[in-house]
C-alpha cells in the first residue's frame, strides 16, 4: 500500500487503491496527479518528503472522491495549488453538489458520507498554461463530465478511469459511466495512444493497453446490447434498471441505485442518440423502445 514505483526518468506512481502519479520538476520539486481517497494525503506527503521532494502542485484527472480525497489536506499542508479540469472544478470545490446531481436533488442521507463526498478544496480550472514543461493533459470524458488523463515526457500515460481492470470487469460486469458514447471514444483514444507505460487508476500498469481497452469496450457493447434487447418491449427506466441489477447479480442499495442508475441512463441516452432506441409516452410513463 502506497508503494512508490519508478515509471520513467522523471515519472513515478504511487501504487494505492487509486493510483497517483508523481512527476519530478526542477530543483527537487514534484507535482502529484490525483490524491486518492480521504486520508490518503496524510500518507502521501511523508512519502514525498522522505525523498526530499517538495510538493509544488496537484493535478486532478476528475472530481470523484477517490481522486480528490487528499486535495484539501495537501493544499493546506503543502501550500500548493490544486488544478482540476474545467468541467470538474466546481465539483472539487463543492463535492456535495456533485452528489446531489447524481441523486437528482438534495442528496439522501446514505450518500452524505466520506465514501461518496470528499472535503471541498479551493481549485483552479486547469489550462495548458498551468502545466509544467513535460506534462500534457489529454481529454478523456465519459466516466465523468470532463475527465482528462496526463502524459509525461517519459512517455508514461496516466489514464485515470478511462478503463478498469480485468478483475473488476469479471466481478461486476458493468461499471460507472456518465456518458457511454464519450466513454467509448475515450477508450479508443487510449487504445491508440503511444506510450511506454500506461497507468490506469484502477488496473495494473502495463506497456500494452490494447487488450484491456478491448475488454472494456466489449463490456460496454455487451451492456448496450442487453439493454437494447430488453427494450424490444417498451420499458421504463426502473424496469431497465431492475433488469440490469438482475443480469449482473448486483445488490440494490441506495448507493448502488444512484451509481448504476446514472450508468443505465448513460446507456439509454447513448442508444437513443444513435437511433437504436426511441422514447414513447404511455399512461403517464416515459418508455424506451428498440427501433
Q: What is the pLDDT of residue 119?
A: 93
Mean confidence (pLDDT) of the chain: 96
Residue pair 92/125 in contact (Cβ under 8 Å)? The answer is no
Instruction: Name the CA dihedral angle for 60, 13, 74, 122, rounded to a multiple of 10 degrees.
Output: -10
Residue 231 has pLDDT above 90, yes or no: yes
Q: For the residues 208-221, what does the mean pLDDT come to?
A: 98
The pLDDT value recorded for residue 238 is 98
Q: Which of 24-28, 86-90, 260-264, 271-275 has the lowest mean pLDDT?
A: 24-28
Q: Using an 8 Å Cβ cutoff, are 163 and 206 in contact? A: no
Percent of the chain with pLDDT over 90: 89
Per-residue confidence (pLDDT) for residue 117, from 0 to 100: 82
User: Which residues fall within 8 angstroms of residue 49, CB to CB, at 6 or more apart?
Assistant: none
Buried b (16+ CB within 10 A) or exposed e, 171-199: eebbbbbbbbbbbbebbebbbebebebbb
Q: Residues 128-187: pLDDT tens digits?
A: 999 999 999 999 999 999 999 999 999 999 999 999 999 999 999 999 999 999 999 999
pLDDT-based confidence at 194, cuts 50/70/90?
very high
Domains of the chain (ranges, CATH numbers)? 3-161 (3.60.15.10), 223-290 (1.10.10)
Strands 285-290 and 54-59: unpaired
CA distance to 96, 130, 158, 272, per residue, from 288 (Å): 31, 44, 37, 8
Give the residue carrying C-alpha cell 500515460.
157
The answer to whether 98 and 51 have CB atoms below 8 angstroms apart is no
Side-chain-side CA neighbours of 120 within 13 Å: the count stands at 11
Mean pLDDT to the nearest integer, 265-287: 97
Whether 113 shows a pLDDT value over 80: the answer reads no
pLDDT (average), residues 77-100: 95
Residue 266: pLDDT over 90: yes
Residue 72's pLDDT is 98
For residue 114, pLDDT beyond 80: no
Helix axes 86-93, 95-103, angle to 10 degrees: 100
Report the pLDDT value the prediction gives residue 239, as an integer from 0 to 100.
Answer: 98
Task: Please tell me the predicted confidence (pLDDT) of residue 105.
Answer: 86
> In angstroms, how far is CA 214 from the centroid of its own chain?
18
Confidence of residue 107 (pLDDT cuts 50, 70, 90): confident
- pLDDT for the residue numbered 101: 86
Distance CA 27, CA 53 (A): 9
Query: How far is the CA of 233 from the CAs of 14, 43, 287, 289, in angstroms?
Result: 48, 52, 9, 6
Residue 263, pLDDT score: 98
Question: For 120-154, b where at least 16 C-beta lie within 10 A, e where not — what string?
Answer: bbebbebeeeebbeebebbebbbbbbbbbbbbbeb
User: In the beta sheet, which residues pair with residue 11?
Assistant: 23
pLDDT of residue 189 exceeding 90: yes
Amino acid at each position: 500500500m502506497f508503494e512508490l514505483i519508478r515509471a520513467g526518468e522523471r515519472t513515478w506512481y504511487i501504487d494505492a487503491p487509486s493510483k497517483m502519479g508523481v512527476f519530478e520538476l526542477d530543483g527537487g520539486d514534484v507535482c502529484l496527479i490525483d490524491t486518492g481517497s480521504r486520508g490518503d494525503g496524510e500518507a502521501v506527503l511523508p512519502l514525498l518528503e522522505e525523498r526530499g521532494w517538495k510538493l509544488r502542485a496537484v493535478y486532478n484527472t476528475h472530481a470523484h472522491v477517490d481522486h480528490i480525497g487528499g486535495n484539501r489536506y495537501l493544499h493546506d499542508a503543502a501550500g500548493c495549488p490544486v488544478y482540476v479540469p474545467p468541467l470538474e472544478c466546481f465539483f472539487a470545490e463543492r463535492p456535495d453538489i456533485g452528489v446531489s446531481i447524481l441523486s437528482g436533488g438534495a442528496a439522501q442521507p446514505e450518500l452524505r458520507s466520506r465514501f461518496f463526498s470528499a472535503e471541498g478544496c479551493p481549485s483552479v480550472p486547469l489550462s495548458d498554461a498551468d502545466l509544467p514543461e513535460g506534462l500534457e493533459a489529454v481529454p478523456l470524458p465519459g466516466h465523468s463530465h470532463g475527465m482528462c488523463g496526463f502524459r509525461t515526457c517519459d512517455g508514461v500515460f496516466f489514464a485515470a478511469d478511462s478503463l478498469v481492470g480485468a478483475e473488476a470487469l469479471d466481478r461486476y460486469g458493468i461499471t460507472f459511466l456518465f456518458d457511454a458514447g464519450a466513454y467509448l471514444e475515450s477508450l479508443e483514444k487510449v487504445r491508440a495512444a503511444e506510450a511506454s507505460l500506461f497507468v490506469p487508476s484502477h488496473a495494473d500498469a502495463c506497456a500494452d493497453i490494447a487488450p484491456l481497452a478491448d475488454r472494456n469496450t466489449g463490456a460496454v457493447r455487451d451492456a448496450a446490447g442487453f439493454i437494447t434487447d430488453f427494450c424490444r418491449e417498451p420499458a421504463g427506466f426502473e424496469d431497465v434498471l431492475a433488469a440490469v441489477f438482475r443480469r449482473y447479480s448486483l445488490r440494490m442499495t441506495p448507493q448502488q441505485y444512484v451509481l448504476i442508475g446514472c450508468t443505465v441512463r448513460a446507456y439509454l441516452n447513448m442508444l437513443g442518440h444513435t437511433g437504436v432506441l426511441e422514447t414513447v409516452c404511455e399512461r403517464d410513463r416515459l418508455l424506451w423502445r428498440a427501433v
